[in-house]
Each structure stands twice: as C-alpha cells, then as structure tokens.
Amino acid sequence: MEFTAVQIATLLNGKILGNPEAVVQALAKIEEGELGTLSFLSNPKYEAFIYNTKSSICIVNDSFEPTKDLPSTLTLIKVADAYASFAKLLAIYDNMNRREAIIEDPCFIHKTAVIGDNVYIGAFAYIGENVQIGSNAQIHPNVVIEENSKVGNNTTLYASVNVYKNCQIGDGCIIHAGTVIGSDGFGFAPDQDGVYSKIPQIGNVVIEDDVEIGSNCSIDRATMGSTFIRKGVKIDNLCQIAHNVDIDRHTAMAAQVGIAGSAKIGKHVQIGGQTGIAGHLSIADHTKIVAQSGIPSTVKKADTLMGTPAIPINEFKRAHFGFRKLPTLIKTIFDLENKVKALENKKNNP
C-alpha cells in the first residue's frame, strides 16, 4: 500500500514541510530509513539521525526546529505528539494486514457454537459446544476454545492459544501464541502423611475489553468464582497469573512476572520484569515496582518499590550504597579489633 504525505497529514491532522506528494510504502526506524519509508522522531537524543536519514517522510513534534540542513529528499509532517501519531499509523497498518474473513479447512466447530460476522478461523482450530465468537474476531490456527466460553468482537487469538471451558474474553483483546486461559489453579491439600490431594478448580477466568496478553502466559481459573483481568490490562510474555487473582484496570506488567493466588492488584500499577508477588495481598493504585522485586505483603500507599522484600526505591538506593561499602567496613572493624587487642595486650603485659 502506498500513502502520500497529504494522506498521512490528513490522518494525523499534521502540517507538511516539504513535498506533499512524497510517497511511502513501508515504515522504518529513522536510523534505518530508506527511500519510500516513513519514520518518526520524538526523542531529542535521536535528533542526529534525522540529518542523515534516507526516509522519504518523517513525523516530528510541532516543537522540532532543525539545527542543520535536512536531506533534500525528506518531507516533514509536524504533529502535536510524534510518538502517539506514529503509534496510530502502526495500528492502521496492522489492521490492514488482518486475515481475510474465512473459515479454513480442516477445523472443528460444534453445531451449537455461535460465530459472528466477518470472522477468520484458521486451520485445525477447535470451537467447542456453546462457544460464542463475536464479529470481526480472528482465531488463528490450532486455537482451542472449550465449551461455554466466549470471545468478544474484534478480538484476536494467535496460534495455539488454549481457552478452557466457561472462560470469557472481551472485545478488542489480543492474546498471543501459546498462552493458556483457564488452566487449573495450583490447589492441593496435604493429608496427615504429607500426600497431596487435588482441590478441584471450578471457577473461570474473565478477561475484560482491550486487554493484551503476550505469548506463553498462564492465567489460572479460580478455585471458585473468577480470576479477573480488568479492562485495558497489558501483560507481557511468560507471565503467571494464579487462581482468584484480580488485576484492575490499565495495569501493565513486563515479562516473567508471577502473581500468587488471590492477590489484588490495583489500577494503573506498573510491574517490572521477574517480579514476584505473594498471594492474598493488595497493591495500591498507581504503585510502580522495579524489575526483580519481591512483594511479600500488602502495599497500602502508592510508591515506587525495589528489592526483595521491596522497599521504597530511595531507601533501597541508600541501603545498596551501604551494602557496596560493606567489605571496607568489615576490614575497618577487623583492624579496630586488632588494635584493641594490641592495646589490651600492652596493658596486661607492660
């Protein structure tokens, strides 16, 4: 697909500086741009690249003023927010590459399943009894959706996603390859001999609208009731969400986060990669947790936390500074001990 600078500026409500008929066919990072590509510049530390880029069009902030001569082949489009505008174009580009609405063969669709309009279902997909799939959904190859589950409008499930029975996925969600929704929670009860018996997990998972979940994640069904992933939540690859967890709206977490059972995560929480969160606790809205932290107890007030167990980040930095000096402090203590012993020996043996 080709787009002119005029078309792009119209989409973004931007102002053109240069050739309004400049044409692009692809997107590229500014430092890797080639003739016919579209780039963007929002962070001033990358400004040097714009003076050498080979891109045909570059989206920049209204505030950008070049300090050197720009390439003669480059057209600028000035917008209020270059990063947000480029993200909008990426979304449009991605939407243009959606699969054509078709049901590929072979796949299994139960006769009681209800399929909306304009749906793509890939080969070897399994759609179980009483499943509901909304309009414009994209169900990629090898996806399994078990009985009584629901997938909303405009939702995409990539290859080999597994949705267990009775689970609900809202509108506009994206779930990447290999993720499992509704597997059994880790529930076992030891008897007097220490032998574990399985506790049946009879709840489900409820995923609200506009959620994105990365590849190879596990979202466990509740023991009873529901595990909730609320509206707008973003979950990176390789995350584990245990049974009865409730993640509130617009919270985001990076890869390899693990959240234990029945934890309640607030709104707009940001969780760094490889963080572990204990069960049966709550985390306040707007809390930020630095990567590789451990959260063993409830966080009542929003703060930026770091370490294991996590503490406010400024406290952690001071403690870490002291820890780095520990070898010197230990040597100083040993030296003082030796001096004290020498003085005691001199006193006892004049």
**Per-domain boundaries in the chain:** 3-96, 108-313, 323-348
Q: 110, 243, 250, 268: which one is catalytic? A: 243
Which residue do the tokens 């179980």 mark?
128
Q: Is the CATH code 1.10.8.60 the one for domain 108-313?
A: no
CA atoms within 13 A on the CB side of 164: 19
pLDDT at 135: 97
Rounded to the nearest 10 degrees, how much is the dihedral formed by the CA atoms of 164, 168, 171, 173? -40
**Distance between CA atoms of 39 and 29, rounded to whole angstroms?**
6
pLDDT at 243: 98
Task: Write out the two tokens for 98.
Answer: 């959606």
Q: Are 153 and 136 in contact (CB under 8 A)?
A: yes
pLDDT at 90: 85
pLDDT at 329: 87
pLDDT at 91: 84
Number of Cβ within 10 Å of residue 156's Cβ equals: 20
Number of Cβ within 10 Å of residue 205's Cβ equals: 26
Percent share of the chain, pLDDT over 90? 86
pLDDT tens, residue by residue, 141-150? 999 999 999 9
Annotated catalytic, 268?
A: no
* Ranges of residues in the chain whose predicted pLDDT is under 70: 350
**Can you say how many angstroms the Cα of residue 69 is from the centroid of all Cα atoms in its chain?**
39
Q: Domain 3-96: what homologous superfamily?
A: MurE/MurF, N-terminal domain (3.40.1390.10)
**Distance between CA atoms of 193 and 163, rounded to whole angstroms?**
35
pLDDT at 219: 98
CA atoms within 13 A on the CB side of 62: 8
Amino acid in the structure at residue 180: V
Among residues 70, 26, 27, which one has the least CA distance to residue 48?
70
